[in-house]
Amino acid sequence: MTMTQAPDRRHARREEIQKLASGSERRRKIYSGVGLSICGMFLVVALIPLISVLAYTVQRGVQAWSADFFSHLPTPAGIPGGGIWNAMVGSLIIDGIAAVVAVPFGIAAGLFLAESEGRVAGVIRFAADVLSGVPSIIIGIFAYIALVRSLGHFSAIAGSFAIGVLMVPIIIRASETAIRGVPHTLAEAGLSLGARRSTVARRVILPTALPGLITGVLLAVARGVGETAPLLFTAIGSQYFATNPNQPMAALPLVVFQDGIQAYPDLQQIAWGTALFLITVVLVLSVGSRLIAARLGRVRL
């Protein structure tokens, strides 16, 4: 009895399920369409400011670009041929010193966070999070009190300090993520050969995490290059060519800020050109970090 009925009822059940499924499929398509259009709308909303900022900066900035612009020192308002050579070198020095200090510190901290689960690690992680949320102007004031007031003069090194403090939490976070991505079995393999944990970290974990570490460092440098507020309190800017980190120094974002608020069109022109150059540098760093990560990642793993 049940033997003969069962197939029929199964058949009926199957038809009902199929009907429900096709009904839900139609609903799903509508939801999907609505969802996609909302996403597309927000994408446009997000892209409008980005593209308009980029387009306007390009439009205004390109006019300023010339051989003189990249190779000359600034000139007083009204005298043509001024450039940002000193600011380019200044940014390189300020951010270079900041990175040289922040990178080892940040990677070491990231390694520690990735490798230990103790309370200390929790405190450090929290501190790094808080630090990354502190407005950069506050860090500028801190650097001003710590290194400018105490030394009695503005200096590039104080700017490096402020920028370095901004870079550290970014590098810590990126390094921790990159190092956690290294398969645990590789560390175990190293240890099983009689290596100490420090040796495994140095010879196995860090080299394997290298693409991620490079990405993190480049992103941190990209962030540091564009920071203006901390430099206002520290490196302050300069009209001259300076390489002594103990003295005031010009920097790209300072040129944008200081020349941009001048009444003279030629100085504003310099500010636009510098802004475009800054955007280009940041873009190159960001895209470059992605490319390096992708390339190294493919070859290595």
Partner 1 sequence: MTEAMTDPRMEKQLGMETEKALTPRPPGNSVMRLRNVAVAFGGRTAVHDVTLDFPEHQVTALIGPSGSGKTTLLRTLNRMHDLTRSAQVTGQVMLGDVDVYGGSISPTLLRSQVGMVFQRPNPFPTMSIYDNVVAGLRFNGARRKGLLDEAAESALKSAVLWDSVKDRLKAHASMLSGGEQQRLCIARSLAVEPRVLLMDEPTSSLDPQATKRIEELVTELKTRVSVIIVTHNMQQAVRVSDYCAFLLMGDDRAGQLIEAAPTTKLFEHPDDERTLDYISGRFG
Cα–Cα distances (Å) from 294 to 174, 215, 222, in that order, read: 15, 10, 18
Kindly state whether residue 191 participates in binding partner 1, applying the rule CB under 8 A: yes
Nearer CB in complex with partner 1: 207/265: 207
Kindly state whether residue 189 participates in binding partner 1, applying the rule CB under 8 A: yes
C-alpha–C-alpha distance, residues 62 and 47, integer Å = 22
Give the shortest CB-104-to-partner 1 separation in angstroms: 20
Give the shortest CB-294-to-partner 1 separation in angstroms: 16
- Stretches 96-104, 123-131, 160-168, 188-196: which one binds partner 1 (CB under 8 A)? 188-196
C-alpha–C-alpha distance, residues 112 and 69, integer Å = 45
Instruction: Sketch the per residue contact string, 18 through 37, with partner 1: x for CB under 8 A, - otherwise.
Output: --------------------
Give the shortest CB-218-to-partner 1 separation in angstroms: 20
The single residue among 90, 169, 190, 253 that binds partner 1, judged by CB under 8 A, is 190
Give the shortest CB-199-to-partner 1 separation in angstroms: 5
Quote the Cα angle for 167-95-271, to 5°.
Answer: 110
Long-range CB contacts (within 8 A, 24+) of 270-274: 270/64, 270/69, 270/74, 270/82, 270/83, 270/84, 272/57, 272/60, 272/61, 272/63, 272/64, 273/61, 273/62, 273/63, 273/64, 273/65, 273/69, 273/84, 274/61, 274/64, 274/84, 274/87
Sign of CA dihedral 44, 47, 52, 55: negative
Nearer CB in complex with partner 1: 55/193: 193
Instruction: Sketch the per residue contact string, 205 through 224, with partner 1: x for CB under 8 A, - otherwise.
Output: --xx-x--------------
The single residue among 149, 203, 290, 295 that binds partner 1, judged by CB under 8 A, is 203
Read off the amino acid at residue 154: F
Give the shortest CB-127-to-partner 1 separation in angstroms: 23
Kindly state whether residue 188 participates in binding partner 1, applying the rule CB under 8 A: yes
C-alpha–C-alpha distance, residues 45 and 49, integer Å = 7
Give the shortest CB-290-to-partner 1 separation in angstroms: 20
Residue 109 and residue 121 in contact, taking contact as beta carbons nearer than 8 Å: no
Instruction: Sketch the per residue contact string, 101 through 120, with partner 1: x for CB under 8 A, - otherwise.
Output: ----------------x---
Under the rule (CB under 8 A), what is the footprint of partner 1? 117, 183, 185-186, 188-196, 199-200, 203-204, 207-208, 210, 299-301
